Every structure is written in C-alpha cells, then in structure tokens.
Amino acid sequence: MAILNVTPDSFSDGGTITSVDDALRHAERFVAEGADIIDVGGESTRPGSANVDPDEEVRRTLPVSWEISKRFDIPVSIDTTKWQVAKMVMEHGGAEIINDISGLRWDPRLAEVAAGSNAGLILMHSRGDFDKMHSQPPVEDILSEVGTGLRESVACANKWGVADDQIVLDVGIGFGKTPEQNFELIANLDKLVAEFPQFAFLVGASRKSFIGKLLGDAPPGERLSGSLATAAIAAWNGASIVRVHDVKETAEVVKVVDAIKSQL
C-alpha cells in the first residue's frame, strides 16, 4: 500500500503534493514500482496536527482519487475517520477501500458506508480522541490491549452489516504505543494473526518516529533502512499488507521474504 498524502502537514511528505497532477505523477511511479493499493489521505494524523473539516478533506482527496481510479488499474483507499468523506469519495471518487485509524471509535457510520458499498474496511487500533491519541499513557500489556480493541472494532463493523471478508486489521504502530511496544507488536504480530485467523493484517511502520529514535534521531527521510527492516519482519510474521512511503524498495524486500518463506 503506497502512501499518497494530499496534506500540508503530514510528518514525512506534507506539502509535497499540491495538485492533482502532482498526485498523478506520484501514483504513476507507485504503480510502476509495484504498489497494489494507493492510500489517499487528506488529513494528517501526526502528533500536533489539526483536525480538518470534512468539506476540505473531500476537496483535497476526491479529485485525486477519481483521477487515479480512472487512469490506473489499482484500487484506491481513502484514509479518513469521517463517514461524509468516505461516502463522497466512494461514490464520486472511485475509491474501493476505507482506511479508518480510529477503528470506528470516532464515527461508527463509516461501517454503514462500507456495508452499503461492499467496500473494504481497514480497522486500526488506536486509543484516545484525535487530539490525544499520541499522548495516551502506555498500557502494561500491549498485545492484550490491541487484541481487545480490534475485537471491539470488528464487532461494531459487523453490527452495521460489514462482512468479515471486507475487513482488514491494523495494529496501529505509533498510535498510543511506546517505541518498545511498537517493536513488540511487530515481533509478535504472528500471535495476533493467529488470534484473528479470518482477517488479513496491515502494518504501517514506514518512517515513523520510533525508528528515527532508534537510529540516532534520524529525520523521516533517513529512516529507509529501519522502515525496510520493519516491513520485512512484519511480512515474515504474517502481515498481508504493508503501508509504505518507499514502494520500490519495500516491494523488493517483501518479494525476497516471500521467496524465503516459501522454502519452509
């Protein structure tokens, strides 16, 4: 899954895509480099980011999603926590997947949109509201916490009519977890995969701050090696999707991981 943020303030690539033409150039490169999904986001969720009005979020994302879906044979996901945005971009922008970092905690009607359109629905584990999700005090048992949260999200989705085969689960790397807990989740992802055997898992660790801290406070643009390490181990431990900034390098890493695993 390639990250395509049309935001002015995302932590790694904010402000780099300022027009639909810019977005299409990025999308073309992502497709050529081996992306299977393009994730379009119109609201940054980095620490300290500001909440975006739904109309503005639609203005940023809908034209980009529509042009990508027209020009490339690749599914588009809309990265949003608001049902109005998801509905507009699904109906008029060609998106096929909803990517919700709140796991339906903030807006359960996202599940209604997914059920009504038979869209894919990515449910991510996070804690707290928009303003405080990165400043939550750490829990003692992160694997248990993530498992409980994901079960609650799945139950909510099912209640609104979303089938299990529409759902992908995301452990929420970097959202309310300590750096050590982020590494713990990647190292033990196979346990969560076994706990939820009917669902595919997504891991999004690309360029995140816990990697930078481990690598001597490296800035986002200098976290490639660490990001590739997390992608490789996540894939080895059962992740079906990795959400990344660096598509070519990650696609090559995952190809090698798959080749090695096939010999077991």
Known active-site residue 46: no
Q: Which of 70, 243, 248, 255 is catalytic?
A: 243
User: What is the rounded CA–CA span in Å between residue 69 and residue 93?
Assistant: 8
Please list the alpha-helical segments (H only) found in 45-141.
Answer: 54-71, 83-93, 109-117
Known active-site residue 213: no
Q: Which two tokens stand for residue 71?
A: 């020009």
User: What is the rounded CA–CA span in Å between residue 245 and residue 163?
Assistant: 30
Alpha-carbon torsion (156, 160, 163, 167), positive or negative = negative
Q: Which of 87, 105, 177, 208 is catalytic?
A: 208
Which CB contacts under 8 angstroms, 24+ apart, belong to 50-53? 50/9, 51/130, 51/131
Catalytic (active-site) positions: 208, 243
